[in-house]
Amino acid sequence: MVNQTEKILAVIMLLMCIMATAMAQHQHSDSANSDGKTALLLPGTGDSQHPVSTRSAEAQKFFNQGLALLYGFNRDEALRSFRRAAELDPQAAMPHWGMAMVLGPHINVESDGDMQPQAADEEIQKALSLSGVNVTASERAYIEAASRRFSKDPNADRKKLDLEYSRAMSELVRRYPDDLDAATLYAESLMNFNRWNWWSAGGKPAAGTEEAISVLESVLKRHPNHAGANHFYIHVIESSPNPERGINSAVNLMSRR
């Protein structure tokens, strides 16, 4: 009879194989370097749609792509995409929000170490400066929430900033319950408190883990192919006592074209 440990290891190996294929399709990268390369609209990034205030249809395409790549941890290409969106529409605020999200804290920060909080703060300040009349109320809420995540002070209390951001995202979800990207990013903010330590060796969830799972499952119930919710769900569940719950999400990611 296969014991629980063997089952968990087998499922994790399956998830890793499926995820490797899916992420290869997305040219997975885990850094955010400013190398001057021009962004291109890439195949295989799925159909993520998050309308923002812009006069440029092309800028919207690059924003959508940037968000999909951000969800996939391909931060180099995400940064290029958001930057290209900003170039195409210099009055658009949300591409600067996107660049700030790429450069700021994320659940993979301990594996790549590439967090640039000062640069992120500069981008969110640009977003704030453009948010006076050029954004919707929900976009302003995204930008104001992200502004709580960053500080000009390099010695600022990171845990306090992360908590303020998470609380702001919780309020954004309350105000806009049908915004699935807001919910997904709120779940990620909860995961960010305990990066890669969402479960104890004995299978007990860390603080915030169960809420993150609940939020992500709510998103996936409404949008089974949501790129961010699927990716984050796999990671938050993979070291749980029941990692097989993430198989459908891994398959969904692999099927994205």
Instruction: Please choose, from the candidates 131, 129, 132, 76, the residue with its C-alpha nearest in 3D space to the C-alpha of residue 99.
Output: 76
Give residue 31's pLDDT band: very low, low, confident or very high (50, 70, 90). Answer: very low
Beta bridge partners of residue 205, listed in sequence order: 199
Mean pLDDT for the stretch of residues 33-56 = 82
Residue 132: is its pLDDT beyond 50?
yes
Half-sphere exposure for 90 (CA within 13 Å, toward CB): 0
Q: Is the dihedral of CA 36, 39, 40, 46 positive or negative?
A: positive
Residue 46: is its pLDDT beyond 50?
yes
Give residue 30's pLDDT band: very low, low, confident or very high (50, 70, 90). Answer: very low
Question: What is the H or E stretch that residue 228 is in?
Answer: helix 227-237
Output the CA angle 226-232-233, nearest 5 degrees: 85
CA distance 152 to 59: 28
Give residue 102's pLDDT band: very low, low, confident or very high (50, 70, 90). Answer: very high
Q: Is 130 helix (H, G, I), strand (E, B) or coil?
A: helix
- Of the two residues 253 and 225, the one the predictor is more confident about is 225
Mean pLDDT for the stretch of residues 168-179 = 98
For the chain, what are the domain ranges?
4-254
Query: Which CATH number applies to 4-254?
Result: 1.25.40
